[in-house]
């Protein structure tokens, strides 16, 4: 890799160009933010865990027929991924009430939902990533009707696969956020990351929170929770 051209710097990652115009290099940082950037901090070792955990899960999803941007892990914190045009929707899937869903609808955290719920949020920091209906997305030209159907189908397929994979590691997948991108061919693929930053994960037995809620809610043991999730997933031990 010759010159380093920084294409983008986000809250948790930097993206660099490579000699291949179809491939970019992602560098995962230890920086953490919450509440739309209002709360800031560092979670030691997070970058390496989020990178390797995302890659393990992307490989698993690919093996089960879900297309992703993943190309190759090049170090603990760095991965080559296919360059995509990110669709400006955050796709959230929920299995159990928590977070903004519990708050918005007054439903106690921990209440199981009768089926997985898919929500779309408009990716726009200035507006605080507002929840959007399908009609909002269509009228604001954030996606087409076909795109929305495809995003929903892929998100539900990812949910089924991840629920199973996390269960094998003794973890309950409460909810998570996905981002998708478009390849030059037009194909929609899973992008971004899947990590304790973007998933709510509870211990199957104790229901202890093992994710970014420990940072958001000042619960302590943040680093340990990320390490625990990674150790369990990597080990693949049934608990």
Write out the binding residues for ligand UDP, residues 35-94 only, by CB under 6 A: 90, 92
Q: Least Å distance between CB 185 and ligand UDP?
A: 27
Name residue 70's beta-bridge partners: 81
100 binds ligand UDP (CB under 6 A): yes
User: Exposed (0-12), middle (13-18) or buried (19+): which is 163, by Cβ within 10 Å?
Assistant: middle
Q: Give the count of residues interacting with ligand UDP (CB under 6 A).
A: 14
**Identified binder of ligand UDP from the candidate list 13, 165, 209, 212, rule CB under 6 A:** 212
**Binding test (CB under 6 A) with ligand UDP, winner from 25, 46, 77, 200:** 200
Stretch that binds ligand UDP, among 22-30, 47-55, 77-85, 169-177 (CB under 6 A): 169-177
Between CA 81 and CA 84 the distance in angstroms is: 9
Member of 198, 209, 230, 232 binding ligand UDP (CB under 6 A): 198
**C-alpha gyration radius of the chain:** 17
Binding residue for ligand UDP (CB under 6 A) from 32, 154, 199, 229? 199
Closest CA to 216 of 32, 31, 92: 32
Which residue in 198, 221, 193 sits closest to 209, CA to CA? 221
- Choices 42-50, 78-86, 109-117, 192-200; region in contact with ligand UDP by CB under 6 A: 192-200
Query: What would the 3-class secondary structure string for 90-126 be?
Result: EEEEEEECCHHHHHHHCCCCCCEEEEEEEEEEECCHH
Q: Which region, judged by CB under 6 A, interacts with ligand UDP, from 54-62, 143-151, 193-201, 220-228?
A: 193-201
Selection from 77, 63, 72 nearest residue 29 by Cα: 77
Is 99 a binding residue for ligand UDP by CB under 6 A? The answer is yes
Q: Which residues bind ligand UDP (CB under 6 A)?
A: 90, 92, 98-101, 129, 175-177, 198-200, 212
């Amino acid at each position: 890799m010759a010159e380093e051209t920084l294409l983008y710097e986000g809250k948790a990652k930097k993206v660099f160009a490579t000699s291949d115009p179809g491939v970019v290099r992602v560098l995962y940082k230890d920086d953490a933010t919450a509440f739309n950037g209002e709360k800031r901090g560092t979670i030691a070792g997070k970058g390496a865990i989020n990178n390797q955990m995302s890659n393990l899960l992307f490989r698993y999803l690919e093996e089960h027929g879900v297309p992703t941007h993943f190309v190759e892990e090049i170090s603990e914190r760095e991965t080559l991924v296919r360059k995509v045009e990110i669709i400006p929707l955050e796709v959230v899937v929920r299995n159990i009430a928590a977070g903004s869903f519990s708050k918005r609808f007054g439903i106690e955290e921990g209440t199981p939902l009768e089926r997985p719920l898919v929500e779309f949020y408009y990716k726009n920091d200035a507006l605080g990533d507002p929840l959007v209906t399908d009609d909002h997305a269509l009228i604001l030209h954030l996606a087409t009707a076909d795109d929305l159907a495809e995003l929903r189908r892929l998100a539900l397929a990812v949910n089924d696969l991840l629920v199973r994979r996390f269960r094998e590691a003794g973890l309950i997948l409460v909810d998570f956020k996905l981002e998708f991108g478009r390849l030059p061919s037009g194909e929609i693929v899973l992008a971004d990351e899947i990590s304790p930053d973007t998933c709510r994960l509870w211990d199957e037995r104790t229901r202890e929170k093992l994710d970014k809620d420990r940072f958001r809610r000042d619960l302590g043991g943040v680093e340990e929770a990320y390490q625990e999730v990674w150790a369990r997933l990597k080990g693949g031990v049934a608990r």
